[in-house]
Amino acid sequence: MTAEFPFAALDDEEGEVEGPFYRWLSTEAGPDDWHRFALGANWDMHEPEIFEWIVKQPDCDKATALTLFWKAQPEYLAEFPDADVEHRSLIAMIRYRWAEGVFERAELAFDADRDAWPLSLDTLRADVGSRIDQALPPAMRQALPGRRLDLSQDIEGIPSRFWPEELR
């Protein structure tokens, strides 16, 4: 069962890009499209619920879940567990669903250094000690083999056809 899309009522007047893109994302797009969006999305432009919707999809790829997990910066919560962080629920949801084995599709590649950003786990471990293994489970630190997608037609993870001509 597909999770309810959080922005189903969004109309075209909300923005030239977001309305049509979100409508497409929720009705026609699939796992590869969600992954492209996860890789390139401008997190300042989208509400956390859109990313949560993606990881709730039954065919969300493992690589997409890891991309969203690492881009949400779980290492910050490892250092500052009581911080008020916008993506706290996304991080917790992905960590829980990963531990429960919910993500079954494994067709796409993931490497944190390439698909999120390099992180010195040794430095973080020196700062936070054993909290690192709870916040960043070892199984979620592994690269995943798989296909790499062509992102050349996307702007910030959104297919260029959704952007005004002058921004393409």
Q: pLDDT tens digits for 7-49? A: 544 444 545 667 788 889 989 999 999 999 999 999 988 888 9
Higher pLDDT: 12 or 112? It is: 112
pLDDT value, residue 7: 56
What pTM did the predictor assign?
0.88
Please give the Cα distance from 97 to 68 (Å, whole number): 13
Q: pLDDT tens digits for 136-159? A: 999 999 999 999 999 999 989 999
Mean pLDDT, all residues of the chain: 88
Rounded to an integer, the average pLDDT of 114-133 is: 88
What is the percent of the chain where pLDDT is above 90? 55
Is 160's pLDDT higher than 60? yes
Q: pLDDT tens digits for 37-91? A: 999 999 988 888 999 999 999 999 999 999 999 999 999 988 898 888 889 999 9
Q: Give the burial string for 87-102 (b: 16+ CB within 10 Å, else e).
A: bbebbebbbebbeeeb
pLDDT value, residue 59: 97
